[in-house]
Structure 1
């Protein structure tokens, strides 16, 4: 290290000048009111508190557990009531944008989200911004008030502009993806509000229900049993009803007031209006009619035309309390927190490991040692030992041992075990019945398949389908219509019948009988449970809209390889032209197919290696054939330059460089009669050519999956046309299709042309579902529903609308059947909710329905729809 004495004189002079300049700058800063040292012992939090909220910080929160866009408004309202906070929640992306004073800790905001059952966490960018903000030094001098106001206005305009641009980009991206069509899900404070407002769930408590029920019980007894009525009994009922209609019904009143303030329709607004109207009318009767007399007695009537005149009074405190109690009970039953799919998975998890044994090499001795490490410290590439009776914590490959594994959820194999051995693939979440197993780790933590399933299910639950949108919008329209009809009904009964008691009873029956909550539940719950039930069967559905699209499918296109057949192929026969060596034809085919991952190529390479290792063909066949300039042709074939033994003009065998090709023929042109017959005799033909002439035909065997025939038959029975698309020529493809009973064949379609073939079928008027692997991912994208079927595939494939976690073909008709049953249930729920509301309004207008009976019917139909939706779990 260089000592100060070794530093040149001119550098030491420059350092002294710099120190003097820094000291003068610090002195000037102190005189100007700026703290002398940023790096003092004063902590960032202390400096932040001393600033007294002189500035604001903006940051973003990622949200998890946001059940519905309908709850966004309640959360935003709670945040806005907090000191100085401005919040905008983007439901589609599950993100919250917060602007808050510097002295408001993010933990306070996160706690507010937690009150609504939503887990919030700062994004990485916000964490960095927050840290930078905390390290800033507080300024003593405040800018002029006019300048501060100008900056605030400019900042507000900029923020609103950014929001508009962000929403436009989000809408555009959603439409291009074909997910949301023209439905706008994301809304902000300065735009059109949400159409429907649910009653706050946290206010619907059991204690509120119990207190209301206890106070309402004597009112019911005294109102419906005249023999028990005594002097001043009605005033006692009024005293008991007051806390019921105020405290007990407060959640409904609060939601109604919030809806009026925001220009929204609260789903329980009609019930709130019924409670208030019944209570105020009863107070009016007690104060201004004979109903307030000590000796007044009340005889209940159940039809409006039998109600007493105002002079005798008509008591409706039972209606006010009854609506409150039964609405609280129904709300608690229908809006209770339900465990979702991943909660169920975690609850059934057994044998979860906290520590794992990893096999590593000792740096000193180079010997393998067993080390106990926490689960979080597992790295990709580690070799871990999982004991029997434990849940596998990683995705990986077995490199030691053999055992039985129970796949568990998301496979439809619950209770069935599978045997794994060396080179078998295992996934996190599988339960090891025996063991131990030594597993080489491929994926850990958030990269495992079970974590990807978790993300997929959560994302699907955030989406809204068109039926849910229609149901919530219908529910929002039902409330103001019910209020309007009740008002009109009141005046018609009053003017025509002259009995204001009957008018009040009929109007109350309308308000108490409408069931907008039933309409709102008619689709949302069934769709959510349907997505989760599909996942239990090993079918991951992208969103709720996909269920509707699956229901409308009229044709299913199967890419033959990997869907209807097993992945592995085998060489069956080798036929050659006159004078050609079959072993040479096989070796050339294996050499050309070396770089391809297609199952046909792998079969050729495997057969060529086995022949080479067995020494077939003798010394006349090259042990190794090198391929130069390999290329993939437009028809999917392979070509390249090879060096093979050939006879010259003198009859001497010598090595020559020739152009060779390997293709699956689309027709029989260019083939001799012998090779043509062999190409169509059975199996998948592969033509091997060099120097422009066909030298041989290799046929490959690929077994159909055991359940392929039954799966195709099930689809045909459902009225869905089955189509097979393949590169094979028509005679070969038709034979495969006939063996499976398929309706149509799209044969001779090269890989790059399959997208056009799928589009052509769509243009003929069919609603098309494409089933294939990653090799045809573009076809999945252009189909109405893209169904990905491939073992060991990543779930993050945007082209796929449905991912099948099972490899059997029967999962395809199973997915179609589930979608049809879920859609039918949703449609019947909507019909039931609409029919109920229409009938109950007609009965109420006709004076045939008592308000208390209407309340019971409302709760009953809501519970019936919920019970019907819960039947999805049995599909």
Structure 2
């Protein structure tokens, strides 16, 4: 049997340890290499000699569900036109058909997130029921006659229905001999509720007029007169809140791929039998002639067979300057035509296009990204079994000491209850909520707790150029009148301002981004142009103030218009070596000078690099732009290491290469071509004014375009992680300190409740320190 690469969708995982268990189970099969990602709930498996059914069976044997992704919805490419015709004949709306994913790509749109909605419903209902229980239990003035029975009625739905996800997960783990935080939560909640029920029915707690005792140290015999309903309810609500926050963070994991694939053209104009017709992009075939007009996206990869235009390829290459294409030029699907009309012969369609390939790169990067296992789960791997053993020891110890069954049971149950992680449920969510709230005020969005741990260890930050270090917008960098070009002569009175004005006047009729930059740099009142004519890919001409003016490529002026540009050529070569686009201007057959247009370095980028270096990070510039433009930007901001002319796949390879060198890498970018690299980096920083695909792939989103905020984001993430670790330490410490008292039978319910309340208050107060973050 040949090697099989398959992706399984895993269900039933509740924590990172579940993903580890599934991964170990799969890797025990002969010839299987598996990676399970808890965040995306997917397993990527390479197997030799094991078919998909055996893989699914292995996952089910571990106590989880596994399914193969649904087959693609699109019809086979060869049959696409006939399928389209049948759809039309049967009344299917072609517009709807065009919104389907391209062939070979799984539908990235998730089914309605019933899990998150159910969690939210459980949280809201449980919180509403638990609040009066807690108030009645902790405020003596509210303890009316038979209040305890009302508390029981309110707490029962919380314990049974609200905490059901924890009970179910604990049962699954128990069947496979494992214990996680779900086990401790379930056992603690059920123990608190069970003992309360016992005390109400068989003890003295159910008597009318019962009040909760406030003595700090109780007696073992007093256990049957106390109830723990507020503990069972509060723990359930706190843990549900934490799980809901985590669920929302996980839900965004598919947004990067969805945003990327949404950039593809939905339909296209195709020439068939000499007739132009509009068809869904999914119906395109190799060899189709696609008509693309200005402002439209190219629907497939192909070769230009007719026409000439400027094409904005920044989507794929990161190049800020549109590329001039004409007959014979290769073009990429989803790029934007900004000039003239093109006729493109499709060479790659559907799953073979560059955009689809980038989608696969992004999905592979996300699936292969090692998610940091949450600290609480790691500690609980030791803490949970130890607590359960101590509870059994306490129970057995009292029995062996000759105490009654009631005393022994009270000590054992109290040990479980005091260990129940009330503050632990708040430790991560409160710090994350306060940290993200403060971050939103500073223009920083943290995706979730899983992104924080890497910020402490990050030592390298890789920066995209266009849109991250630079503005991504063309502007005039330099104006060189002919008299300033190494002694060349020019008509008297032609200054830099005159040169810009003349060029802007003739360029005003063009929609090319370079022309728009020249017009923006000129004065508002421009001379009137007559006889305007654009020569796509070369330049423009017109009559300005009675003089024939041409502006465009230096070689075009020399070859087509026989203008002497020799004196300007060396300076033009220098400007082009720095990545600028050079426009030569001439009037009445005489060269007037040069205008250099280029992407602009942000004024805050140099300061941002200094701040990142101060955090111990080494900056690396990684761009699809040409080496000249990259070197110019790097010099301007103080970056020593530059990698230019890199494709999207090359960016992903560069990140992994740095990681293989032992570096912990952060990546900052804003384009679709950065999405896979952002997902593969240990910490992805997406600039918020970039594309949806980049934002969804990043771990941290920087709202706006100021790179200095990236340094602030790393500082905030590190501070939030420190608070979370402090919270987790104290959450366990309070419980651990009270366990000996519980085992000795000296812990009454209110002391347990007070200890939990105090630990919770400490955790919340500690988290609120993040509000003062600067």
Structure-2-length-normalised TM-score? 0.50
Structure-1-length-normalised TM-score? 0.45
